[in-house]
A = this chain, B = another copy of it.
Amino acid sequence: MDAPPAGLAFDEAITHEELQLAARNHGMPLEGLRYDVTPLGMHYLLIHFDIPDADASTWTVDVGGRVRAPLVLTLDDLRARPAVTVAVTMECAGNGRARLTPRPISQPWLHEAVGTAEWTGTPLRPVLEEADLQDDAVEIVFRGADHGTQGDEEQDYERSLTVEDAMREEVLLAWAVNGHPLPPQHGAPLRLVVPGWYGMTSVKWLTGITAVAEPFDGYQMRAYRLRQTEDEPGVPVTRMQPRALMVPPGFPDFMTRSRIVEAGTVALTGRAWSGWAPIALVEVSVDAGRTWSQAELAPRPPHAWTAWSFAWEATPGERELLVRAADRAGNAQPLEQPWNHHGLANNMPQRIAVTVR
């Protein structure tokens, strides 16, 4: 086999650099799928640079650029505005990356880079209306306080949305999560929350909201694109692809995480979500993908995951369980890996090996 291109690995072994990221950034242990709202500390985290040392009492966010009435808002200014609380499922765009072959080298997620939180904040739209966008504004750039280098470019973390997407009513400037002030690692004291989109869009430690007259082409806009080679332009990654995950049944082995399940009726449960449309269908396979059965779906909240359940008549032997979802917009999880150079949006189904005894 030829040597893989830079930034890719063909073998299963994980590099020291990937481990450094895995030791900092954490997923949600999959038994966390049992909670409607992920307990604080179990929600996934992906932090590009360092967690900034932020002081909420002096924090401000500048609203400027192509606006007629620039604003400088303190936390108190924002908290004085109408507040809403929304349950939002958020997933890292890199979820599933370490299951790809060859493996793109970055944060090595398997399945677990997801969580659902109740974010409290104020809608962005009235803030933008008050700042009064100029007619040539096409995008809004959100700047975070986290600073570092990536791809040899020194940067504050920055991402943009089109004016149309930024104006959607569910987009929030959030200062609390699950009823608590934001903890440092979730963007304290203020972050953007963009329901339905992969997490890179929900900029943490928000310091700037800038209207621009040209599409923003910063590093993080170029990085989060689906491409087959490093030099093609690719397609932007935006909303979450559909995915279903299962609470691993039975109990685990510490090291291998393989499972032992008692024979009989086993209540398989989990969650499914899509950023494009409500979940239409969840299917379970208990025979390694040869046959599929439809799961029961609970009510579908607008921006949070949908609970599913399936009663499995488990008989002794080695089994492989899979689950897959499709949404009402016609998106479905592919059985083959949707490979791309940066390992983004890999939603091929979870597989769980179990021994039924």
Contacts and interface: CB of A to CB of B under 8 A. Distances in A.
A39 B183 contact: yes
Contact of A34 (B17, B53, B106): B53
Interface stretch (A145-153, A166-174, A312-320): A145-153
A253 to B, nearest CB: 5
A109 interface: yes
A50 B252 contact: yes
B253 A41 contact: no
A100 to B, nearest CB: 13
Contacts of A11: 13
B14 A19 contact: yes
Given A39-B184, A40-B183, A18 B14 contact: yes
A20 interface: yes
A163 interface: no
A50 B29 contact: yes
Interface in A16-41: 16-27, 29, 31-32, 34-35, 39-41
Interface string A182-197: 0111100000000000
A337 B253 CA distance: 29
B41 A183 contact: yes
A252 B24 CA distance: 13
Interface in A248-307: 248, 251-257, 260
Nearest to A30: B24
The size bracket of the interface on A is: 35 or more
A353 B240 CA distance: 37
A221 B25 CA distance: 30
A2 to B, nearest CB: 19
A165 interface: no
A137 interface: no
A12 interface: yes
A253 B15 contact: no
Given A185-B39, A185-B41, A248 B19 contact: no
Given A19-B98, A31-B51, A256-B17, A251 B149 contact: yes
9 contacts: A13-B15, A17-B256, A21-B255, A24-B112, A31-B50, A31-B51, A41-B45, A50-B248, A106-B255
Given A19-B98, A42-B185, 16 more contacts: A13-B14, A14-B18, A17-B257, A20-B257, A22-B23, A23-B108, A31-B51, A32-B184, A39-B183, A40-B183, A48-B254, A49-B251, A106-B255, A149-B252, A149-B253, A150-B255
